[in-house]
A and B are shown apart, each in its own frame.
Chain A
Amino acid sequence: MALFRYGADLDPANALFRLQSELERAFDSRAGHDLGLLGRGVHPACNMFRSGEDVVLRIEVPGFAPENLAITSQGQTLSVAGKAPAQPEASGSYHRRERRRGDFSRSIQLPREVDPARATAECKHGVLTIRVPAREEVKPRQISITGG
């Protein structure tokens, strides 16, 4: 992830620190992309990463089973919707109620160099990971030269 790794950076105990500071650095930086509705507090929270040429989205969706999530794409817009599970019968009183509940829907504008039509997604432990591969035409290509 980091460009340079040496010394204390190799200590696995620092891996979390390093990740956190890297995420912090990227906070609020739009990297030149217009992602649509933005900001901390937008639900569900989404982190966007670059992995080689591809773009990887990681969205926190605790409580949503993969079958209750739907991802659609249209042009460069990716939409994620979640159907909330049925509420447990509440025959008591809440001491604390902090968790988000209810359905959600969110659209994210993707950079032009990736192809949402070929996106793949996986949902594990309440984190939805969507990988959007780069378009073939933006990948570096060797151009052959003919002599005459």
Chain B
Amino acid sequence: MANGEIARDSAKQRTEDQYTRPGRTYQPSVDILETEQGLRLWADMPGVDQGSIDVELVDDVITISGRVSTAEYENLSPIYTEYNVGNYQARFRLSNKIDGSRISAKLANGVLEVELPKVQAAKPRRIEIS
């Protein structure tokens, strides 16, 4: 985070979201790894299926969101709970070193994985000396 490359958007934005969406929204736990090739992001979103997930890049802000289905909770009455259920959303500001056209994402076992390749020019290049 030293270079401020990935900053989570301000808390204000999140509050606005909460007014316009039904139910409460939770921030998933996220890992972000930077390699030479790019950034890799993992977000824990248990209960979200492939069709209910959105990865969106607008300008340099990437938004990941997932909707949980309440259908599976029909006819269940809670007797003891440790976690609440809600939709997920997280938003990160990316540096322009990311090639927006080559972003890819996949979902497995409730974990979203997003590949954010760096643009070619940003990769360190060894310059041969003759």
Which B residues lie within 8 Å of A17 (CB)?
22-24
Spot the interface stretch: B9-17, B39-47, B54-62.
B39-47
Q: Closest CB-CB distance, A90 to chain B, in whole Å?
A: 6
Number of A-B contacts (CB under 8 A): 164
Chain A interface SS verdict (over half)? mixed
Which B residues lie within 8 Å of A48 (CB)?
78-81
Judged by a CB distance under 8 angstroms, whether B31 is at the interface is yes
Judged by a CB distance under 8 angstroms, whether B75 is at the interface is yes
Judged by a CB distance under 8 angstroms, whether B101 is at the interface is no
Which A residues lie within 8 Å of B70 (CB)?
15-16, 18-19
Q: Closest CB-CB distance, B37 to chain A, in whole Å?
A: 9
Judged by a CB distance under 8 angstroms, whether B19 is at the interface is no
CA of A25 to CA of B84, assembled, Å: 10
| Complex contact B77–A50 (CB within 8 A) | yes
Judged by a CB distance under 8 angstroms, whether A51 is at the interface is yes
Q: Closest CB-CB distance, B38 to chain A, in whole Å?
A: 9
Which B residues lie within 8 Å of A19 (CB)?
23, 70, 73, 85
| Complex contact A50–B22 (CB within 8 A) | no
| Complex contact B81–A126 (CB within 8 A) | no
Judged by a CB distance under 8 angstroms, whether A49 is at the interface is yes
**A94-B111 contact, Cβ under 8 Å, with A1-B73, A1-B75:** no
| Complex contact B83–A16 (CB within 8 A) | no
**A99-B44 contact, Cβ under 8 Å, with A22-B78, A26-B79:** yes
**A26-B81 contact, Cβ under 8 Å, with A51-B75, A93-B33, A95-B34:** yes
Spot the interface stretch: A59-67, A71-79, A140-148.
A59-67
CA of A91 to CA of B83, assembled, Å: 34
List the interface of chain A (C-beta within 8 A of B): 1, 13-20, 22-27, 29-31, 33, 35, 38-40, 42, 45-52, 55-56, 60-65, 88, 90-100, 123-127, 129
List the interface of chain B (C-beta within 8 A of A): 1, 5-6, 22-24, 29-36, 39-40, 42, 44-49, 68, 70, 72-87, 108-111
User: 3 closest pairs, A vs B, by CB?
Assistant: A126-B110, A16-B23, A92-B35
